[in-house]
């Protein structure tokens, strides 16, 4: 078993269609599908997995509007760190697009802190 990044957002209002569309666009922009395919064919690069968002019907709690987890690459010395940076950048973009929500983002049990000034997760803490 590998190390994963976990994420969820909760609020009383469901995601709007505009928010859903923006989230899909952001996930597409941060896609690692080409890297996954390259690794599967050549064995080169990181052993990425796709960004996973759970079906809200299967949500772990009430008022959950966005939830998922993604296993981090772990086949090279810097792979996990690269994965944390990549996925936390995506989650920062998603958080900025989904307003008025309470967010939880963690690598295993280490909660990533939000930097209000820079509007991103602070990976130094």
| Token pair listed for 88 | 């936390």
* The pLDDT of residue 111: 98
Q: Binning pLDDT at 50, 70 and 90, where does residue 38 land?
A: very high
Mean pLDDT of 11-21: 95
Of all residues in the chain, the percent with pLDDT exceeding 90 is 91
Helix intervals (H) in 43-119: 79-97
pTM (two decimals): 0.94
Mean pLDDT, residues 100-123: 97
Burial of 66 (0-12, 13-18, 19+ CB in 10 A): buried
Q: What is the pLDDT of residue 59?
A: 62
Token couple for 8: 């969820």
Is pLDDT of 25 > 70? yes
pLDDT digits (tens, 9 = 90+) for 62-109: 799 999 999 999 999 999 999 999 999 999 999 999 999 999 999 999
Mean pLDDT of 23-31: 98
Strands (E), 1-125: 4-10, 64-71, 102-107, 110-111, 113-115, 120-122
To which residue do tokens 């896609």 refer? 31
pLDDT tops 70 at residue 61: no
pLDDT score recorded for residue 21: 98
Average pLDDT over the chain reads: 95
């Amino acid at each position: 078993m590998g190390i994963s990044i976990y994420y969820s957002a909760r609020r009383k209002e469901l995601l709007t269609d505009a928010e859903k569309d923006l989230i899909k666009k952001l996930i597409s922009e941060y896609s690692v599908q080409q890297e996954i395919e390259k690794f599967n064919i050549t064995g080169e690069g990181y052993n990425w997995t796709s960004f996973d968002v759970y079906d809200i019907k299967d949500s772990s709690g009430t008022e959950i509007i966005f939830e998922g987890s993604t296993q981090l690459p772990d086949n090279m010395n810097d792979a996990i760190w690269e994965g944390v940076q990549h996925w936390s950048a995506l989650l920062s973009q998603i958080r900025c697009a989904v307003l008025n929500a309470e967010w939880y983002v963690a690598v295993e049990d280490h909660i990533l802190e939000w930097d209000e000034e820079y509007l991103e997760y602070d990976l130094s803490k």
